Structure formats: C-alpha cells, structure tokens
Structure 1
Amino acid sequence: MEEAPLDRDAVLHWLKEELGRLAETASEQAALHAQLKEVARSVERLQSQGHPIPDDLRRLKLDLMMRLEDGEQAAAELKQWAEGLRPLLASIDAVLTEARKSGNGPKNKGGRKRKQKVPRTNQEVLREYLLAALRELGGSASCSRVKDHMRERLAGRFLPGDLMKRKTGEIVWENNTHWERNALVKEGILKKNSPRGIWELAEREDKT
C-alpha cells in the first residue's frame, strides 16, 4: 500500500511552532540569571546576619535554577535543530543548483555524524537538592535516604543524561551527587567525621 505524502504546510507549521517555543524558553535566560543573582544575594545577606532562610526563598531559588536548566536544554535543542537543518538546506540548495545547470538528480553527499552531548543536571542544582533533602530530613540521614528524597523531588525533572549508567554501573545523577557531597565536606558545609554512610550538615548549616 502506497504511503500518503506528507502535508508540507503542516510539517512547516509544526517546525515553526516548535522552534518558536524553544527560542522563547531560551530567551528567558538573561532575566532568570538576574533573578537568581538577586535571590542568591538575599540568601547570603540573611546567612551573614545569622537569620534563617525562609522556605519560600529556598523554593524560589530552586525553581529559578530548574528554569535555567530548561532554558539551557532548549538552547541545546535549538543548536541540534540548526546542525540538523543546515546540511539538509545546503543539500536542497545544491540539488536545485545542479538541476538548473544540467537537469541531473541530487547527489548523495555523505557526512560524519557529530556525537551529541547528552544533557544532564548540573552540579549546582544537585547541590541545592542535596542540601534541601538534608534540611527536610532533620540535618542528618543515610546517603540512600537522601538520594531517595532527591529522587522524589526531581521526578519529572531528570534530563536524559541523568538516568544513564556509567561503566561502573552507577546511575549518573547518583554518582554526581556523591561527588557533590564530597565537595560539600571539603567546604565544611557537611561534617567530615560522620558515621560511615551518614550525610550530616555541619553545625553552622544547622543554624540556617
């Protein structure tokens, strides 16, 4: 059975809508960065004055960071679209040029595919979710419980690269969370001498 031809206008309309949506999401980056900078300043000011950080302010910071992640993902998708469409448009132009010159059909031009980097949640976002989990769990919990808490909060927000496995068999986002925990210990935000398998906020973090 012969397949029905694609509706060119419908395809072009969908493509225009999709690219417009991605461009709009990516264009919000500057404003979101400015908002996040102001929120971060407010958090630092409250911490320096010894005041507790309101939960609403913490949630706003996390929301802004995740929206920035969405914007970065949209920008990456736009780049992928551009890289995919550019050779296609060039091929169409070459075919039309050749057809005008000699009437020959399109030439098959091979090309090596570029390996696309799979997007994943950045370390700063994982850090915020890790600290938020410990605060909500009373300042101390097993690493497995912390990751379970983070998994619940990040459900639906994981990026494709987060759920891939490393050669060791460990899930990428969990492995990156362990690295971030080590960084927090070095910075003195988490306790260094906690019992094995326990992640614990330092005293100065408990007071915030």
Structure 2
Amino acid sequence: MKIDIGCGSAKESGYLGIDRTAYPGVDIVCNINEEIPLPDNTAEFVMASRVLPYVDNLMTVLAEIYRISCHKAVVCILAPYAHSYPHSSNPFFKQKFDEYTPRYLTGSFFQPPSSPLSPAVPDYPVPVPPFDYRLLRMELFYQYPFDQSLYETEELDILKTLQANVVHEIMYHFVVVKKDISHAELEAMSRNPQPEPRVLLERRRLSRLREDLF
C-alpha cells in the first residue's frame, strides 16, 4: 500500500490519502500528531510532502510512520530547507530540515564505530531514536538565482555553507529498517528510481526552461 500523509486536496494518484481535514479525496481523517489509524507493517511507500514541518513532535510522528511501514518500505519527505529566511521566520513551522537531519533518524549513527572510517559517536547526550531510517538519497532544490546552470555543484555546496537563502527545499528518500540489512541491499535500493511528489514535476520543468534560456 502507498500512503500520502498530509495530502490535502491534491492526493497523489494511487495513494491512500491521510489528512486532518476532510478534503475531497482524503481517505482517512486523523491527526498524525496523535496516531495514524492503520495496522503495523501496512505501508510499502509513504509520501510526506511539505507536511512534517508543521507537526508538534517530529520524533513521535516518525515513530508512527515507522510503525505502519513494513521492512524496506521507502519514505519520501519533501520539506522547506531550514537555512532560508522566509522559512526560519514562518511561525507555523515547528520542525527544521537540512542535510544533517538524516544522521539523527537512524539508530546506526549512535552505535560505536566499527572502524576508524565510521561516523564518530556524538560526545554529547543524544537520545537514540525509536526507529531506524537509512538515507537512500537526498536532493536539494535551489532558489533563484542559484537554480540556474551558472553555478557548478561544488560552488553551490560552498555557497549554501557560507550563506542563507541558497536552498529552498530538500527531499529525502529513506528506507525503513526493521531487520538486518546489508550495505549491498541499501546501495542497490539507492540506485532504483523512486516516486517523488507531483509538485516537483512543475518545478523541474521550469528549471529546465531556465537552463535552456541560459
């Protein structure tokens, strides 16, 4: 089953739509801050497009999404990028997302390093999350004028580190891990094409048009 959480009135085609408001097309009306009324291990794919910044407790909601997802389900999250003045000043945004967010969503990050090349365990107390999401891929969507082909990837990487208002949105694809999984399996999944929010189709189209103009 594919689930669109916070679908609003524009539910993704072929998905079970969940929203707190009974818009046309919504299949389940509920407050995801409290619970998602679905059995364990139900979802094979979960779409959460521009909804998670509004939740009261991100860890609680991610734990609920984890519960309803089966092992190796994929969760796609599209969210406003934290380091943007319009986003940081929005009083309705309660959660922030950037390229460092994924490291706090996997229990493997908090395990003792197995080799000198493994990520270091933080030297400050950080609760181990009650779930294990592994990042398959991450994509940044730049805002004007940084969304043009005038900049190399390396230049953009430096710019977003030095200043705000370079990146507009960020998209992640995570895999839900409930059993042992090998690095080879994760790598293979990362190469597979994955669904993404329909709203990105128009964004990609406009980006291609701008590139053609320049």
Q: TM-score, normalised by structure 1?
A: 0.25
Higher strand share: 2
Higher helix share: 1
Which structure would you say has the larger Rg?
1
Q: TM-score, normalised by structure 2?
A: 0.24
